[in-house]
Chains A and B, each alone.
Chain A
């Protein structure tokens, strides 16, 4: 019988690697599918020619399909993938750091603060910079302000998960009530803008929006992915983690700041997209278990798949009318929540 546990464990790890590889393949296929669907009546042939003419020596496509594919669809698909991955990563890390299955970047007040910043720009035209990036910059700055508030409040209480969660909820309510007041004072057209922003969507995706999100993801994800072992240790309890040499206070503080930064950047460009950050880590946990070395990359892939799938539905279901993608992701989230609630097994969370 020697080595039975080892054999079992090796098989387990191999399975997880396979799951992750399959998700990656699935994401690639879904991206291709999503590229070929849209409000404009372009055949798959035209789409592919326009797409691949940038890489391969093909005959040049007509300007229309080139513009639609490269200026509209590709940035949108990329933003869906990047935003989905980023929000899911932020969600998985926050659940791990706070040992709470209901934690998400939104329960930390980030999105409600971003919503307030955006509303301020939309309703009163007030903001840190003017012009086209007024709304985005405002949303980002207020999200950072919320992060700072939660972080400072948490630090005052020794960064215990409970204190961070309570601080996050307080900040969330603070900013959402401020947003309500602004909405009350808004002109109907500004109000419509606020409502649309709060529902979230990717219809505003441009290359100018994709690049900053990409840079943020490239900056924030390596340290977050690198904290897998610390997150595993924290799962067993702060004291155990500390005795294993993990500086819990620092890991939690830094992790919160990084995941908030990532979320702030994404939310500024996409508006509030519900449930991705909450649902993806849970789905990933069902697929590969709770070991953060696998959970974090898997969450990224699940998040990217979910958001890309939801956005593809959002822009094709009633085309050319678009359904707010936040509504679709939330609809995806509710059955999941019920499932989680009714789940009998205790292999999961308390």
Chain B
């Protein structure tokens, strides 16, 4: 097991966000966290990245307690793309992606760091934007730059919070496709929170359905995303279509 949460409890003051969450992600596995707003997806990602420390339970990376790993080492091995970064800051695209190399470098930038950044920009078709300011880009381009920043970090585990929010169809597919490819080629573990059940169904090896800080179901998309369960969690009637493995879900109306 690459990354594991065991009986994680977390509360913000009196507000209980996670109540004993247990889950694991294998090497090269793409895991989607789904669930309604406030179900604990973001809190769980923050716990997995070590930004928040669970009050009970533990997080393990390759079987080691996360709390015991040096923050610098952790930042080289686990990368996190939070939701809602500023829409503008005074850095160029290249500088922003180069930031991903920070856990690997001292004050000076090495030749390899520059090559990694330049390679990623080319791979994502953004080499022409290298010197553009972040604030000048479209929403989709921005998200791709931030993703490139995450990939430049070259971590073993990627944690992403709503990587496709506010994006058009093409960018949604591009970004999730890239993540799948990285997981397949390099054995990178991907854990991401997604709102769109169909994207989760289409791109994940495993779906984890969270409800009120608990894991309600975990497994292949086809076995987790059943209409009865979704109606219970979201309070919405859903029609399920398509194959058994990666079903397509059509929301009908609130029940």
B-contacting residues of A (Cβ < 8 Å)? 1-6, 8-9, 12, 99, 226, 228-229, 232-233, 235-237, 239-240, 242-247, 285, 289-291, 293, 345-350
Contacts and interface: CB of A to CB of B under 8 A. Distances in A.
Which 5 A-B pairs rank lowest in CB-CB distance, beginning with the nearest? A290-B90, A245-B75, A347-B133, A243-B80, A239-B82
B15 to A, nearest CB: 16
Contacts of B88: 346-350
B149 to A, nearest CB: 7
Given A232-B99, A236-B96, A242-B51, A348 B133 contact: yes
Interface in B215-240: none
Given A245-B75, A289-B92, A291-B92, A233 B102 contact: yes
B90 A9 contact: no
A236 B91 contact: yes
Contacts of B94: 5, 8-9, 12
Given A5-B118, A12-B131, A232 B95 contact: yes
A237 B46 CA distance: 14
A99 B118 CA distance: 27
A285 to B, nearest CB: 6
A245 B71 contact: yes
Given A242-B51, A291-B95, A347 B118 contact: no
A348 B117 CA distance: 22
A252 to B, nearest CB: 15
Given A6-B114, A9-B118, A290-B91, A347 B136 contact: yes
B127 interface: yes
Contact of B86 (A9, A237, A247, A347): A237
B117 A232 contact: no
A345 B136 contact: yes
Contacts of B122: 1-2, 4-5
A216 B153 CA distance: 36
Contacts of B80: 239-240, 243
7 contacts: A6-B114, A8-B131, A229-B102, A289-B92, A289-B133, A290-B90, A350-B87
Interface in B173-214: none
B12 interface: no
Contacts of B131: 8-9, 12
Interface residues of B, number: 50
Interface string B59-99: 00000000000011011101111101111111110111001
Contacts of A291: 91-92, 95
A347 B71 contact: no
A350 B134 CA distance: 11
B85 A236 contact: yes
B23 interface: no
Contacts of B72: 245
B89 A240 contact: no
A348 B49 CA distance: 30
Given A4-B122, A5-B94, A239-B51, A350 B86 contact: yes
B87 A243 contact: no
A280 to B, nearest CB: 15
B130 interface: yes
Contact of A235 (B91, B114, B146): B91
Contacts of B71: 245, 247
Contacts of B132: 347
A244 B107 contact: no
B107 A226 contact: yes
Given A12-B92, A291-B91, A350-B135, A237 B85 contact: yes
A229 B132 CA distance: 19
A340 B251 CA distance: 48
Contacts of A246: 102
Nearest to B155: A243
B90 A289 contact: yes
A98 to B, nearest CB: 12
A3 B120 CA distance: 11
A295 to B, nearest CB: 8
Contacts of A345: 136
Interface string B138-166: 00000000100100010000010000000
A5 B135 contact: no
B127 A4 contact: yes
B66 to A, nearest CB: 13
B190 to A, nearest CB: 15
Contacts of A1: 122, 127
A294 B147 CA distance: 25
B33 to A, nearest CB: 17
Nearest to A101: B90
Contacts of A290: 89-92, 95, 133
B128 interface: yes
Contacts of B56: none
A8 B126 CA distance: 12
Contacts of B51: 239, 242-243
A256 B46 CA distance: 26
Given A236-B96, A350-B87, A243 B135 contact: no
Given A2-B122, A244-B75, A245-B74, 5 more contacts: A226-B107, A242-B51, A243-B51, A290-B92, A347-B88
Report which residue of A233, A236, A285, A293 has the largest number of chain B beta carbons within 10 angstroms of its beta carbon. Answer: A236
